C-alpha cells in the first residue's frame, strides 16, 4: 500500500483508509464479527487509518473499533469526531466543556488515551472558529490528540483556523458524483498543508460491482431519505453510472478500485476513506491504491462521468443541516 502523510506533521498512513460508519448500521444491519473481520483484513492490506465518530450509532462504532484495537495496539491511526448533539433535537456545540466531555467519552469507548486526529464533526456557527481551534490546541498540548481537523467546512473557515494553528485534516464528501470541493476546499487544503480526507468516495455504493436497489434498502439505511437514491433522480443516476461500470470492466478494474484510483489522483494530499464492513469490498478499495491512471484514463472517466453529472442534491434538506456552503 502506498503511504501518504496525515497532515503536515502527522503520521504516515495507508493511502486508502477505512470509514467505520457502516459498523454502526448506517447502511443496514451490521455485526461485531464482520466488522472485526474487516479490521483484521485492513491490517493485512496496509489500510491503517480508521475513521469513526461518537455519533456513529451513538458510540457503537467506537466501541467496535475499540474492542478490536485492544488486541492490536498501535497498529492503526485512529480519527474520531465530536460536536454534534442529536437528541432531543439536532444541534451543534463546540464549547470547550462539551468538546472535552465528547473527547473523553470517545477515548473511553476506544480504550485509548490518545487519538491521532480529532475532528469537529460540524461547526457551531455562532462560535468563532478561532476559539474552537484554541480548545483543540489545548487537547493537543495535554496529549489527548495528535492533531485536529474539521468536517464539512468552507475554504474560508479553513483559512481562519489555520491562521491560529495548522489544521491536520479536513473531511468532506468527495467522489466522481460529488465534486463541490473542487470549487476551493481541495485547493485550499493543499495550499495550507492540510490533508483532504474524502468520505463516500464510492458514492454510497453506486460504484460497487452491482448497482444498489433502493427498494431493498433496510430501515435506517442513510440512503432511504437521500434524493439521489429516490425518484426521479435514481433512474438517471443508474444509467450514468452504468457507463462507468462498463468502462471499469474494459480497463480491467473493479469499479470501486477505479473510483478510488481517480480520487487518489486528485492530489497527493487526498486520503479516501471508503466505508465498508465487507472484506471483499475492502480488498477492492485497497486495490485502487495500486492503479496509476494516465491522462488518457482520466479523460475516459471524465467522458462517461463529467463533473456535475449526478441528478439530485447530495443530501436532503435535513441532511444538509450544519454543512458550510461556499461558492
Domain extents in the chain: 3-209+254-292
104 contacts 134 by C-beta, under 8 angstroms? no
Q: Does domain 3-209+254-292 have CATH number 3.20.20.100?
A: yes
Instruction: State residue 233's pLDDT score.
Output: 97
Instruction: State residue 17's pLDDT score.
Output: 98
Instruction: State residue 30's pLDDT score.
Output: 85
259 contacts 176 by C-beta, under 8 angstroms? yes
Catalytic residue among 27, 56, 118, 174: 56
Instruction: State residue 296's pLDDT score.
Output: 98
| Buried-state track 43-80, b at ≥16 Cβ within 10 A, e below 16 | eebebbbbbbbbbbbebbbbbbbbbbbeeeeeebbbbb
Instruction: State residue 327's pLDDT score.
Output: 86
Instruction: State residue 29's pLDDT score.
Output: 79
- Tell me, yes or no, if the pTM score tops 0.75: yes
Identify whether 174 is a catalytic site residue.
Answer: no
In this prediction, the residues of the chain whose per-residue pLDDT falls under 50 are none
267-308: pLDDT as tens digits: 999 999 999 999 999 999 999 999 999 999 999 999 999 999
Amino acid at each position: 500500500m502506498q503511504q501518504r502523510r496525515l497532515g503536515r506533521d502527522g503520521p504516515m498512513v495507508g493511502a486508502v483508509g477505512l470509514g467505520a460508519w457502516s459498523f454502526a448500521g448506517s447502511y443496514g444491519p451490521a455485526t461485531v464479527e464482520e466488522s472485526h473481520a474487516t479490521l483484521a483484513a485492513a491490517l493485512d492490506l496496509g489500510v491503517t487509518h480508521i475513521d469513526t465518530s461518537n455519533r456513529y450509532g451513538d458510540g457503537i462504532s467506537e466501541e467496535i473499533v475499540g474492542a478490536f484495537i485492544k488486541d492490536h495496539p498501535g497498529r492503526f491511526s485512529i480519527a474520531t469526531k465530536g460536536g454534534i448533539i442529536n437528541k432531543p433535537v439536532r444541534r451543534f456545540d463546540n464549547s470547550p466543556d462539551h468538546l472535552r466531555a465528547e473527547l473523553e467519552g470517545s477515548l473511553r469507548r476506544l480504550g485509548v488515551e490518545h487519538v491521532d486526529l480529532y475532528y469537529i464533526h460540524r461547526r457551531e456557527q455562532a462560535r468563532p472558529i478561532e476559539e474552537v481551534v484554541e480548545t483543540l490546541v489545548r487537547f493537543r498540548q495535554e496529549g489527548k490528540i495528535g492533531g485536529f481537523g474539521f468536517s464539512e467546512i468552507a475554504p474560508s473557515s479553513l483559512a481562519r483556523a489555520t491562521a491560529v494553528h495548522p489544521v491536520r485534516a479536513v473531511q468532506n464528501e468527495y467522489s466522481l458524483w460529488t465534486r463541490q470541493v473542487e470549487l476551493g476546499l481541495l485547493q485550499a487544503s493543499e495550499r495550507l498543508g492540510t490533508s483532504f480526507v474524502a468520505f463516500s468516495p464510492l458514492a454510497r455504493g453506486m460504484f460497487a460491482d452491482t448497482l444498489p436497489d433502493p427498494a431493498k434498502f433496510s430501515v435506517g439505511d442513510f440512503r432511504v431519505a437521500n434524493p439521489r437514491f429516490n425518484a426521479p433522480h435514481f433512474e438517471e443516476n443508474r444509467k450514468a453510472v452504468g457507463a462507468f461500470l462498463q468502462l471499469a470492466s474494459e480497463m480491467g478494474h473493479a469499479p470501486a478500485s477505479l473510483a478510488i484510483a481517480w480520487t487518489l489522483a486528485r492530489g497527493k494530499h487526498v486520503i479516501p476513506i471508503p466505508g465498508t464492513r465487507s472484506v471483499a469490498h475492502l480488498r477492492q478499495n485497497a486495490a485502487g491504491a495500486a492503479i496509476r491512471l494516465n491522462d488518457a484514463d482520466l479523460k475516459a472517466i471524465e467522458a462517461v462521468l463529467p463533473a456535475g453529472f449526478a441528478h439530485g442534491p447530495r443530501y436532503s434538506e435535513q441532511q444538509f443541516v450544519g454543512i458550510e456552503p461556499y461558492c
